[in-house]
């Protein structure tokens, strides 16, 4: 077995962050209500999956609540998906978002949040405080309606 040379022991993989917006900031939609969120979400959601598989998506917002983008974070099965905070916040930080709105669908059509939905919301709000990324709302959506944690006083 050949031993590594001393120079290669101190070489690290370079990580480079790049952000290129393709839209003029004046053209970005502004989030002012949960219904605005729902409209953006429903128009970007994969409608072929909304009643089949659970998905977890986020809206990325700047300081003025302009929507910088939409990202599907996770796709799961019929009754659940994993919302990994590391992926959620990595996406938000790369997009230089100051705030996020998290969302997921319930293929069953039931809009009531589960204990797991409440727990992940609390975990994301707590994590966001450390990173200065505000978690402003959590929407549960179906093709016809939505539930807003903020509107219902459920945001921690």
Distance, in Å, from the CA atom of 5 to the CA atom of 19, rounded to the nearest integer, reads 36
Q: What secondary structure letter does DSSP report for 30?
A: B
Using an 8 Å Cβ cutoff, are 69 and 28 in contact? Answer: no
67-92 confidence digits (pLDDT tens): 999 999 999 999 899 999 999 999 99
108-124 confidence digits (pLDDT tens): 999 999 999 999 999 99
> What pLDDT shows up at residue 6?
64
Tell me the three state secondary structure of residue 52.
coil
- pTM here is 0.87
Residues whose CB falls within 8 Å of the CB of residue 117, separated by 6 or more in sequence, listed in order:
104, 138, 140
Specify the CATH number of the domain 6-148: 3.40.140.10
8 confidence band (pLDDT: 50, 70, 90): low
Q: How far is CA 107 from CA 38, 64, 74, in A?
A: 16, 32, 14
> What pLDDT shows up at residue 25?
78
Residues whose CB falls within 8 Å of the CB of residue 116, separated by 6 or more in sequence, listed in order:
80
Query: Regarding predicted confidence, which is higher, 17 or 93?
Result: 93
């Amino acid at each position: 077995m050949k031993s590594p040379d001393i120079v290669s022991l101190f070489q690290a993989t370079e990580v480079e962050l790049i952000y290129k917006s393709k839209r003029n900031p004046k053209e970005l939609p502004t989030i002012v209500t949960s219904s605005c969120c729902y409209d953006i979400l429903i128009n970007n959601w994969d409608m072929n999956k909304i009643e089949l598989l659970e998905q977890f998506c986020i809206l990325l917002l700047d300081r003025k609540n302009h929507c910088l983008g939409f990202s599907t974070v996770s796709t799961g099965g019929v009754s659940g998906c994993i919302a990994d905070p590391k992926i959620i916040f990595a996406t938000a930080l790369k997009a230089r978002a100051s705030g996020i709105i998290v969302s997921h669908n319930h293929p069953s059509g039931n809009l009531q949040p589960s204990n797991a939905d409440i727990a992940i919301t609390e975990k994301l709000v707590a994590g966001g405080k450390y990173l200065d990324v505000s978690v402003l709302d959590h929407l549960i959506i179906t093709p016809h309606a939505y539930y807003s944690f903020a509107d219902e006083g459920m945001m921690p």
